[in-house]
Amino acid sequence: MELVIKFPDKSQSFTNGVEFGRILQQMEEQKMIVSNSAFPLHKENERVVRDAAKVYGYRVTFIGEHYGEWINFFAIRESVFGNKLS
């Protein structure tokens, strides 16, 4: 079996995993807009969120960094735009 989404490092960071899991669940449920409940995201999760967005058909935007470790983000399902990204 091959993983679709992989964490970029071998860390056992429970917090980052739980945070990403909540975001992934929203994508799996095909929510129109995905966010971290209006809170910034740990920067360590940016890569896995980008990868999940690509797999699940979302356009993701990252803006504004806080204290070098947090970043704002939101994702919108591509079907909202009427076509897929290439």
Q: What is the pLDDT of residue 1?
A: 57
Q: Is residue 9 part of a domain?
A: no
Q: Give the CATH number of the domain where residue 48 resides.
A: 3.30.1370
Q: Is residue 55 part of a domain?
A: yes
Q: What is the pLDDT of residue 79?
A: 82
Q: Is residue 73 part of a domain?
A: yes
Domain enclosing residue 23, as ranges: 14-81
Q: What is the mean pLDDT of each run of 10 residues along the chain (86 residues)?
A: 66 76 95 92 93 96 92 90 56
Q: Is residue 5 part of a domain?
A: no
Locate the DSSP E strands across 1-86. 33-34, 41-42, 58-66, 70-77
Q: Is residue 3 part of a domain?
A: no
Q: Is residue 4 part of a domain?
A: no
Sorted by sequence, the CB contacts under 8 Å of residue 17 that are 6+ apart come out as 7
The count of domains in the chain is 1
